[in-house]
Amino acid sequence: MSVKIVIGVDPGLSGAIAIVDSQYTVLATTVMTVHGHEMDLTSLANWLEAEIESNPYHVPIIACIEKVSAMPHQGVKSMFTFGFNTGAIHGILASFSIPRYMVTPQIWQKAVLSFTNRGDKQASVNFCRRIYPDLNLLATERSKKPHTGMADAICIARYAIMTLL
């Protein structure tokens, strides 16, 4: 079987991106770079470009992006910003000719976190700690808590490998 690469995306200002191969090996992760209340889309595009160019396998890449909707009591401005950023992520991936698929949190969590307490915000972190005990889930060197967006992005990529490859 040829190795394929999946990019898992947890969109949003506190989200992250993970690149995972079809053998479930995490190749790279990054948190969304944010300045103030805006995502740094240039940094994201540059990071993706560097990771794609360093793809040692030269095999097809797909992306799976979490499909989320408005939360109760969320403001119009924050929903517009979130939608804009999500659309920009789609555009960046499209510029690299990467096919994109979307999955709701309920669906990927049911598939990947089936043996955990899925209602717990830390479920994906706990899952990643078990499956990847040596993986650093800290957003920065100064961080003390694992980044849930990073763990979610890894789980979204695992979902795509389980269902799309």
CA-CA-CA-CA torsion sign (85, 139, 130, 117): negative
Which of 28-37, 56-65, 68-77, 144-153 is the most confident on average?
144-153
- CATH code: domain of residue 22: 3.30.420.10
How many structural domains does the chain have? Answer: 1
Domain enclosing residue 95, as ranges = 5-164
| DSSP structural state of residue 164 | H
CA–CA dist 159, 102 (Å, integer): 11
Q: List pLDDT tens digits, range 110-165.
A: 999 987 766 677 899 999 999 999 999 998 889 899 999 999 999 999 999 999 88
Buried b (16+ CB within 10 A) or exposed e, 42-56: eebbebbeebbeeee
> From the centroid of its chain, how far is CA 119?
19
Q: Is 7 helix (H, G, I), strand (E, B) or coil?
A: strand
| Phi–psi pair at 96, nearest 5 degrees | -100, 10
